[in-house]
Chain A
Amino acid sequence: MLVSNFIKMKNLKIGLLWCLLVFVCSCKQYLDVKPKGNVIPETPEQYGILLQNQLNGIDKGTDEVVIGNPESVILREFFSDNLDAALSNTVNSGAPVYVGFKVNSIQNEYAEAFKKIKDYNIIISDMKDRDSELAKKILGTAYAMRGVNYFNLMLRFCQPYEQNKAESTLGLPLVDEFNMEAKPARANLRATVDFIAKSFTDALSYNVTDKDYLFTANVVKAYMAKTYFWAQDWDNAIKYADEVLKAYPMTAADQYVAMINAKLMPTENVIIRSYTVDSRDGAFVLTSAKIDMLTRPASKELVGTFAEKGNDIRYANVFDKKRFNTKNLTASVKSEEMCLILAEAYAHKGDNIQALNYLNSLRARRITKDYVAYTELNLPNVYPQLITVDATGKPLTKLMSAILCERRKELYMEGDRWFELKRNGRPEFWVPFEGRKYTTQKFLYTYPIYKKDVDLNPGLIIQNEGY
């Protein structure tokens, strides 16, 4: 009786051996565990979480890199000549007296941007599905955002574009796939522009229209206009700026105050904007940027550009009597910038009529009383300011001066002026602080490349001049 039980056990033994054999064969399957909460991405939805995470940061106003946030905007205003550093009541890390104070931290924007670019490249190079509706949205957005990030990097870490030197000027390392082993050196500036343009063209091929993805086709076109404008490809700049301007009408004078104070809901002239969903972090960023903002008044020179004074709706609404800013701090791209791009691009092309047309169409929406349209005859004299040459190095004409002044007024406190100085001749200027002179030298307009990258592979990544 008992013995027979053990005979059965011998069967069990054979069974165990079988089990063992099966285990050996299906080892890989057995070991293939996917922990919940973590995923090795396969579907577009899974890849999409990377984008949604970034878009969420833009919605909530915490993103500093792609569109920017109030803090990154105010920081560039501090670097520029829009504010009067000599009248600072406090100088701290949030309110540096000049760009040189931030040399150590602005280089981080380089690594931060590539951290974002990695996400797009993971999607672009790894995502298998390329045809479903969702996949197309994700791919289109990834290409668009990669272009935007590269555009931002170019503005910060490359010297301004000069047509005849574009191929001998250092650009950026061009990374178009996710690869931990890749060691790309810096391309030239023309290749960099082409790379950005290619990203945008690829993005447009997916024609993203879903507003949840923020970087819709029109947003891409706005950035294309900005890119070509920076690269002095006036025709292309005109082409895309015109398309976008038609889609996003500029704000009329009676809507201006509402527009500059819009808290979360962007007005219809806004092409893309950060901080559209309330969040604690976003509110915190805005509050601290505002505290910094109130440490420094607008410069007299800026105030002087408002030739129409009180007749200009902006004059009464962007700063108070002590010249402290009253405009809401937002990071955005607006149709007014497209209009200014059109005006300046036509001016560079020599088409002064069209240039004046666009210039006046903006002015007409800002000057509420005694408005006189500019003609070639009544253009004011060249405004005495830091910028003395235009983007191509020519001395400022009356028309160009008027366009640049208009741009300075319209985009005041939007972080634009710093790049305007860079684009137009990189003028050197100094500010006094605690008895010392702090000079924004020419080389400081181009931020230093992330130092650890330069040190890691000697000779591979070439540091910008002056650092």
Chain B
Amino acid sequence: MSLVAASLFFYGWWNPSYVLLILASAFGNYCFGLVLSQRRTTETRRFFFIAGIACNLLLLGYFKYVNFFLNNVNALAGTSFHPQAILLPLGVSFFTFQQLAYIVDVYRGESGERNFLRYCLFVTFFPKLIAGPIVYQREFLPQFSMPAIYRFNSDNLAEGLTIFLLGLFKKVVIADMLAQFADPVFTAVNSGVMPSPSFFVAWQGALAFTLQIYFDFSAYSDMAIGVSRMFGITLPVNFNSPYKAANIREFWSRWHITLSRFLRDYIYIPLGGNRKGTIRQYMNLMITMLICGLWHGAGWTFVAWGALHAVYLVVNHGWKKIRVAFNLRPQGVSRPGLWGGRLLTFSAVITGWVLFRAESFPSAVALLKGMTGLNGAVLPSQILNLIPPLKVLVKPAGTVPFLAGGTVMGVIQFLLITLTCLIIVFFSKNLYELNLRQRIYLLVPSFAFVFQAILFGRMPSDFIYFKF
């Protein structure tokens, strides 16, 4: 009861009126679950199943996609429907998907939750409410049947606290710092202040955002897991060093793991998965990833991002088939092969993030053009004086706007920060590969920066995934 109250208070802190919305959503799905659990005719169950799914999709559709829909209708049909003034409820995509999974599971035969309070906790449990992980009832609700979680356990507190504090470090210290290199570039391109970003500026924006979203989402996942652990609740791991992936399929098995498995279990496999031939499999991949893109945001750039990843996945599956057909499969992967795969995957992911972060296609194209060098390359003349051969390809300038604060020192600092982050991303173990003692050691170099950032630093920015 107290956890439900705390979770609703936490949610209501942002916008009290949406507490009713989440409660109504929870209550509705709880009722659908009860009805579906009871023995009824197949037709009745089917009716309530479809009604349950439709209600959830309508809720999500209204709050998240109605303006996107109206804008597109206006653009296509020349109509003039006015966009609605809708404030997107925090975490609406997360709690709706979670409940969609619940309805499907109960329809498939899993038992529905009879205790509304427990069901409410499943939906509103505050550490995972806003940005996941997306949990299934079968892995979450049974934990509340264990008497041990209702007793204070300092072991859990210590485990959870270290994971939470190190997650906080990733957010307020690393991700927010990287945002200062990414945001000005994307803002300048989106607003038209910098219509043609040059090579190094475009790469700064793309790389900084690639690392920012990594640390930001990793941080949220850690903090959610850490806080839950303090209460004795175990949440599934949602983030597993995704940039270490040697191919795009592996990337999606490491990035936002609980969303990937939702899409696999409730969209890709029901569509037929790989069971109905190659062409159909590729179609299923495309549909699944388009939904994934649309889930992240109501905009065509998100859809394009999903489509791009679908293409990556199709290419990956196709390549796998070619290797098998021509017996090209080596016994194990060589180290150069592994690193080649990692770098190729990383490059593909960076390209995708540009689409994801840019607010329009022209902005994304401008940045991608910049990254390929089509807009030329400019560096501060002081750097070119230090490395004269670069002068052949790079134009000198006294100050390069948006390039790491426009100063030489800023450029060197950005390189140092990026290099350090890349070393962490590619070479270090993640928090779940470390034991408690090792995590405590990590607090020594990190805690003071967290303390500084929270109490004396600039205002921390929102988590990127809060928008979804």
Q: Do A and B bind each other?
A: no
> Residues of A at under 8 Å CB distance from B?
none
